[in-house]
Amino acid sequence: MSVPISITINGKIYESEVDSRLLLVQYLRETLRLTGTHVGCDTSSCGACTIIVDGKAIKSCTMLAAQAHGATIITIEGLANNGALHPLQESFKEEHGLQCGFCTPGMIMTALQLLEDNPQPSEAEIRHGLEGNYCRCTGYHNIVKAIYHASRKMGKEVVHG
C-alpha cells in the first residue's frame, strides 16, 4: 500500500507517495539520494543512520518514512551553512575524529543532540552519549576529543543546523 507523505528535510519540503513499509533511511538514501545518512547494520545497533527528527536524534532505520509524515528532519547534508562547515564538522576534521568516515555522519548527528541537551559535557558524558554509535576504526578517543573541542568552541550557542 502506498501512502502520501510530506516531510521537511534540511529546510526543504519533500512530498512523495511511498510504500507504507519503506524505512525512513531508505527514503532518504534511495528516494531522495541523501546518501550522507549511512546504513551499517540490520539490527538497529550501529547508529550510522542517526538523524534529527523533530529535535531528537533517532536511528532512521528504526522508523518508517510514513511515520515521519509532517516531521522536520535534519540530516548531515543540512549542517553546513552556505558552504561553511558546522563547528562539529570542523572539530572532527581538526581532531582527526574519523578514519574511513563511515560512522561519522551518525556520530555528528548524535553529538548535535548531545550538545543540545548538555552544551558543556565532560569527556565521560560524551562517551556515555555515544553508546549507541559504533566506530570500527578510531578507538573513539579522537571522536570524543572532537566533540569536546566543538562544545568548547560553540559555547552555549548550540543550535541545530
Chain residues that interact with ligand FES, rule: CB under 6 A: 39-41, 44-49, 59, 61, 98-103, 135-138
For the chain, the first-to-last Cα distance in angstroms comes to 34
Nearer to ligand FES, 4 or 136 (CB): 136
In the complex, least distance from residue 38 CB atom to ligand FES, rounded to whole angstroms: 7
For residue 139, what are the contacts with CB-CB under 8 A and spacing of at least 6? none
d(Cα 55, Cα 112) in Å, to the nearest integer?
10
d(Cα 48, Cα 109) in Å, to the nearest integer?
9
Nearer to ligand FES, 137 or 154 (CB): 137
Nearer to ligand FES, 34 or 49 (CB): 49
